[in-house]
Amino acid sequence: MRSIGTTDLSVFPISLGTNVFGWTADKETSFAVLDEYVENGGNFIDTADVYPYWATGDSASETIIGEWLAHRHDRDSLVIATKVGMLEGLQGLAPATIRTAVEDSLRRLRTDYIDLYWAHVDDHDTPMVESLAAFDALVREGKIRYAGASNHSAARLAEALKISDDEGLVRYVALQQQYNLVERDYESETRDVVAREGLGSTPYFGLARGFLTGKYAPGVTVESPRAGKAGEYLATEHGRRTLEVLTQVAADRVVHPASVALAWLAAQPTVTAPIASARSVEQLRALITAAELTLSAEELALLDDASRP
């Protein structure tokens, strides 16, 4: 288990992303994935009120997780994270929006509290101090335990942390951002802020929309809603080079390429737990393997060198 920043949130090294629940994974399959994840030691479940609204027009992921939680009796052993700021009709981080959204999420999740509540996107139209004060009130009321920032620039994250310190408000304890072997922009000022301020990082798109699973190769047709974006990586020399080394390391270890990609990410500075989704129990096994996989210094270096643009 790993701690998120300086908090008392102790989490599994791989967070289960659930944006596929209610979209490419129906309720029965989602329940099976959740059960398998927990039975293998997993406890960190990441969702959002907007999952998968873009495809279904509702917040099916939270609803499914809530129904699953209703059948379990160990809510306190789980770390549930959800987000506010992107759902249609509840965009942004105005205090009223945060208040309405958290109550809706609590109801759908069938829980009295949210362990980690993310500001899903930065909001330049609302004074940051007002958003932070809203999160602070929710912590004091016991509706959320901690707040985190998602999709915030280094400058804006640093500004938010300074405001919290100056005003005596809760601080963001973690950052959620895109980061994987082929998307490494995080390794800049953003990571410096996270490290300096003692935050944790839970990157999303850890498998680059499926590209790093190894199922994409020249001439191979993949049936997936994400195939178009993932295929763009294959069109670059950088993407093909990364995939070649990733596949070789995975073959040497006799594990799935996805396991190696996530293990590399989990080994990076400031990273607490990469987020990865699974729309079947079979896909989940690669995530579980990643949590148990420790890459050697040589393997990490090979992947690092190959994946640099």
Q: Helix crossing, 237-253 with 257-266: angle to 10°?
A: 100
Which residue in the list 51, 113, 146, 204 is annotated as catalytic?
A: 51
Residue 51 among the catalytic residues: yes
Compute the Cα dihedral for 261, 266, 226, 282 and give only its sign.
positive
DSSP letter string over 13-77? Answer: SSEEE-TTBTTTB-HHHHHHHHHHHHHTT--EEE--TTTTHHHHSS-HHHHHHHHHHHT-S-GGG
Determine the 3-state secondary structure of 146 from DSSP: strand
Residue in 137, 114, 135, 129 with CA at minimum distance from that of residue 49? 114
| Residue 217 burial class via C-beta count within 10 angstroms: exposed 0-12, middle 13-18, buried 19 and up | exposed
Q: Are 154 and 122 spatial neighbours (Cβ–Cβ below 8 Å)? A: no
Q: Measured between alpha carbons, how far is 261 from 43 in angstroms, rounded to an integer? A: 21
CB within 8 A of 284, min separation 6: which ones?
A: 16, 33, 36, 37, 278
DSSP run (H or E) holding 213: none
Q: What positions carry a catalytic annotation?
A: 51
